[in-house]
Amino acid sequence: MLPRRLSLPVLTLFLLAAPGLSAQATLSSIPVQEFADRRAGLAAEVGDGWILGVGGVTAPQPFIPFHQDPVFRYLTGFTQPEAALLVWAQGGQVREEMLFVQPRDPAAETWDGYRMGPEASRERTGIPGRSIQELPAVLDSLAGAGALPRIHVAASYNPGAAVANDVTQRVQNLMAGHGDVEVRVVTPYVDRMRQVKSEAEIALLRRSIEITSEAHREVARSLRPGMNEFEIQAIIEYTFRRYGAERPAFSSIVGSGPNSTILHYETNDDFMEDGEVLLVDVGAAFGGYAADITRTYPVNGRFSDAQREIYQLVLDAQLAAEGVAGPGVSMGQLSQAATVVLAEGLAELGLIEAPDATFEDEMGRQVPQLRLFYMHGLGHGIGLHVHDPTPPVLEPGVVFTIEPGIYVRENLFTEVIPDTPRNREMMEAIRPAFQRYVNIGVRIEDNYLVTAQGLERLSTAPREVAEVEALMAAGEASPAPRRDEWVERFRGMR
Ligand code: GLY
Ligand code: MN
Ligand code: MN
């Protein structure tokens, strides 16, 4: 689906091993050495010069949670606000590093909580720490000494965006007095590293995905006609926290009836009726790593014939993509496999005139009719961001989603399809099917790890029609004892 505005997960820095720089030291259960290796990898790409990394700032309003920027978190593991990183690379090697952080301030900490300060940050991250207040002077002196003909920015820096994010503003402020320093953005190197996950990252993803699968099982056990979407959202987010996830990785999508056809619906406040479907697209963040799983449920526990027909088609498309996925296969090939199934199935259901039939858009261009019902991409990487970078060709260590969908919007004929003679002809042909399936939106989204052997599906929420209906018939939400088991299992992961 299209990237959306997201807040990013936060996790307090947590050291499992004793403080210090032992080989076992970890940040969020990721070894400190792994962060150092990432910076070394970046230095190897840059070659010579200074690299600047910039983290997120505290929200200007009080009580809004801070979530570290994913690029900065990836390079440092540091999760507190207002931080920055300088790395000096020479001959592709890291020669010097500095982590600039908020200084200790007991008065401010009374209100806002513990600040690590330069000393403790060095112990935790292995990077020599300095006060963030010193950064402008350090840049001035580097520039004054002629050491900054250019600066390599490795950050979520995007000056071309309509609204500059906080990291972009910080980089711009820092460079404002240095108009002669060339800014070279090297974030694509970091994105490339982020495409393939390490063992430690995969372990965190397995946890967030397992917790999110459990939240889906709770939905299946709890859903009844007459409930409100917000009750289901509450059950999901309660389950996330109950099992130790820090928060939803993105706004929970809980849409019933007509709302199931809105791709990024997040109002979540309608009552749910007997005979509707409920589309639930949610993901926990654990240790900063996002899951992203969608299931579509019949509100009354049994799919109607029409709902089952759409559901099975979407599932068949997902299975087709799964069937071709593995090392050496491109996302485009997966998409093609799913698209063929969807186009043929929609034609059989009568929602499109033929697998390759087209309609006219408002510019008079021919657009596949398939796009009236399936208008997003097939999947994306997941990681520190719910839409993490994905390589063009899959390889072992890539963790990603496959999420086909079909959405029969009620305003399709009245507001979406331009009123032209050719389109009117099409609407007449597909009207009976449209009326049969209107207000059914189905998406099925799972999370996968590419392995040397092929593909591992990491998400375990029920997916087959019979499995979903069986769990919905099984009844009440989970008993408490299982909570202890889960909490025990995940203790110490962060
Ligand atoms: N939840 C957003 C997505 O599926 O991409
Ligand atoms: Mn999703
Ligand atoms: Mn997704």
8 Å CB contact between 172 and 160: no
Q: Looking at the CA of residue 281, tell me the nearest atom of ligand 1.
A: 1
Residues 137-175 have pLDDT tens digits of 999 999 999 999 999 999 999 999 999 999 999 999 999
Name the closest ligand to CA 212: 2
User: Which superfamily does CATH assign the domain made up of 16-194 to?
Assistant: Creatinase/prolidase N-terminal domain (3.40.350.10)
Q: Residue 63 has what pLDDT?
A: 82
Distance in Å, CA 116 to ligand 1 centroid: 34
In angstroms, rounded to a whole number, what is the distance separating the alpha carbons of residues 438 and 425? Answer: 19
Q: Among 115-129, 389-403, 473-487, which stretch is predicted with the lowest mean pLDDT?
A: 473-487
Distance in Å, CA 380 to ligand 3 centroid: 6
The helix-helix angle for 305-324 and 465-474 (nearest 10°) equals 120
Residue of 2, 280, 294 best suited for mutating to test ligand 1, as the one with most atoms within 8 Å of CB = 294
Q: Among 19-23, 107-111, 237-241, 490-494, which stretch is predicted with the lowest mean pLDDT?
A: 19-23
Shortest-distance Cα residue to atom 2 of ligand 1: 1
Name the closest ligand to CA 250: 1
Q: Residue 486 has what pLDDT?
A: 54
Work out the mean pLDDT of the chain and round it to a whole number. 92
- Can you give the residue ranges of every domain in the chain? 16-194, 199-493
Nearest one of 369, 361, 360 to 408, comparing CA atoms? 369
Residue 220 has pLDDT above 60, yes or no: yes
Distance in Å, CA 262 to ligand 2 centroid: 12
Higher pLDDT, 136 or 488: 136
Distance in Å, CA 249 to ligand 2 centroid: 10
- Cβ–ligand 1 distance for 292 under 6 Å, the answer yes
Tell me which residue has tokens 């049994």.
302
Portion of the chain with pLDDT greater than 70, in percent: 91
Q: How confident is the model at residue 24 (pLDDT cuts 50, 70, 90)?
A: low
Higher pLDDT, 196 or 112: 196
Residues 433-486 have pLDDT tens digits of 999 999 999 999 999 999 999 999 999 999 999 999 999 998 765 554 455 565
Name the closest ligand to CA 379: 3
8 Å CB contact between 78 and 55: yes
Residue of 2, 212, 216, 281 best suited for mutating to test ligand 1, as the one with most atoms within 8 Å of CB = 281
Shortest-distance Cα residue to atom 4 of ligand 1: 1
Residue of 4, 236, 295 best suited for mutating to test ligand 1, as the one with most atoms within 8 Å of CB = 4
Q: How confident is the model at residue 103 (pLDDT cuts 50, 70, 90)?
A: very high
**Count H helices, E strands: the chain?**
14, 21
Residue 125 has pLDDT above 70, yes or no: yes
Distance in Å, CA 471 to ligand 2 centroid: 22
Distance in Å, CA 19 to ligand 2 centroid: 38
Distance in Å, CA 281 to ligand 1 centroid: 7
- Cβ–ligand 1 distance for 1 under 6 Å, the answer yes
94 contacts: CB under 8 Å, gap ≥ 6:
36, 39, 40, 43, 87, 88
Predicted TM-score (pTM) of this structure: 0.91
Nearest one of 101, 12, 88, 105 to 56, comparing CA atoms? 101
Q: What is the mean pLDDT of residues 83-106?
A: 98
Q: How confident is the model at residue 59 (pLDDT cuts 50, 70, 90)?
A: confident
Distance in Å, CA 60 to ligand 3 centroid: 29
Residue 447 burial (10 A CB sphere; 0-12, 13-18, 19+): buried
- Cβ–ligand 1 distance for 322 under 6 Å, the answer no
- Cβ–ligand 1 distance for 281 under 6 Å, the answer yes
| Strand 446-450 to 455-457 pairing | antiparallel
Residue 6 has pLDDT above 90, yes or no: no
| Strand 253-256 to 277-282 pairing | antiparallel
Distance in Å, CA 145 to ligand 3 centroid: 48
Name the closest ligand to CA 402: 3
Residue 419 has pLDDT above 80, yes or no: yes
- Cβ–ligand 1 distance for 250 under 6 Å, the answer yes
Q: Looking at the CA of residue 380, tell me the nearest atom of ligand 1.
A: 5
8 Å CB contact between 80 and 56: no
8 Å CB contact between 442 and 406: yes
Residues 270-296 have pLDDT tens digits of 999 999 999 999 999 999 999 999 999
Distance in Å, CA 449 to ligand 2 centroid: 16
Residue 33 has pLDDT above 80, yes or no: yes
Name the closest ligand to CA 4: 1
Query: Going by CATH, does the domain composed of 199-493 fall within 3.90.230.10?
Result: yes
Q: Looking at the CA of residue 1, tell me the nearest atom of ligand 1.
A: 5
- Cβ–ligand 1 distance for 403 under 6 Å, the answer yes
- Residue 289 DSSP SS3: strand
